[in-house]
Amino acid sequence: MPSRSLNRILWGIALLAIVYFGFKARDTLDAIFIGVGTLDVRADPGEDTVYLTWRGRIAAPMEARLREAFARYDSARTFVLALASPGGSIDQGARVVGLLRQIRETHQLETVVEAGKPCASMCVPVYLQGTRRTAAASARFMFHEVSFREEVSNDEVNVPESAKSSETDRLFARFFVPAGVSQTWIDKVRAEMTGGNDIWLTGRELVDQDSGVVQSVF
């Protein structure tokens, strides 16, 4: 029969295991929720403004969450959307862009990227929907060619470079040109990203380059 001291040791080991696996489970859940994305909403009646913060991928349920927030606070005059995203789905991004364009017809829409936060890939077309677009000088924007991915596994599919190039040109024509982004700048960054290069630029660099992506920095 085990002694009391041995029992205490065994119970201690069991408790440590519970704590350890509890933290591992929490870390896993955090990673899952960060991947899904979250929307924080704060209304300021005094300013007649609703502050929205999206953290995570440009993926479902982003459009649905934004639509719910707009329906709830549609009497506000201004919506400010802060973004921190690694990018995501072109399809979901296009849905979000369509919604933001609707909001823009009747409300003031501002977009912002805070200090050190990323707005990469499909996040940029979403950001471009702001009638007023600001960013911290250290905010990080990333541009790259369109990638083709398998729907279930999300693994990248090998396609001819000509297909990537033509789809990337369509994306810029669809989302960047209507937002007033400089064609000279588009041509420059398109040349730099050819071959699969990721182009990272800060908010300050985008303003200094007269890109038209970021209108002002703070």
- What would the pLDDT profile of 53-68 be if each residue is shown by its tens digit? 999 999 999 999 999 9
**Statement to judge: residues 141 and 203 lie in one domain:** yes
Separation CA 114–CA 124 (nearest Å): 14
**CB distance 73 to 101 below 8 Å:** no
Q: Do both 171 and 208 map to the same domain?
A: yes
For residues 129 and 167, state if they share a domain.
yes
pTM above 0.75, yes or no: yes
Q: How far apart are CA 67 and CA 103, in angstroms?
A: 9
Positive or negative, the CA dihedral 156, 161, 166, 170 is positive
Query: What percent of the chain is predicted at pLDDT more than 90?
Result: 72
Measured at the CA of 95, the angle between CA 202 and CA 91, to 5 degrees, comes to 80
Based on the fold, state whether residues 54 and 90 are members of the same structural domain. Answer: yes
pLDDT tens-digit map of 65-108: 999 999 999 999 999 999 999 999 999 999 999 999 999 999 99
**Is residue 105 domain-shared with residue 16, that is, in the same domain?**
no
pLDDT value of position 30: 39
CATH of the domain at 84: 3.90.226.10
Q: Based on the fold, state whether residues 61 and 149 are members of the same structural domain.
A: yes
Q: Based on the domain organization, do 154 and 210 belong to the same domain?
A: yes
**Residue 137 and residue 185 share a domain:** yes
Are 203 and 133 contained in the same domain?
yes
The answer to whether the Cα torsion of 188, 192, 197, 200 is positive or negative is negative
126-173 pLDDT, tens digit per residue, is: 999 999 999 999 999 999 999 754 333 344 556 666 677 889 999 999
Return the SS3 of 198.
coil
Domain holding 124, by residue range, is: 39-217
Clarify whether residues 18 and 44 are in a common domain.
Answer: no
Total count of domains within the chain: 2
Same domain, yes or no: 157 and 82: yes
Angle at 99 between CA 171 and CA 154, to 5 degrees: 50
H or E stretch including 193? helix 183-193
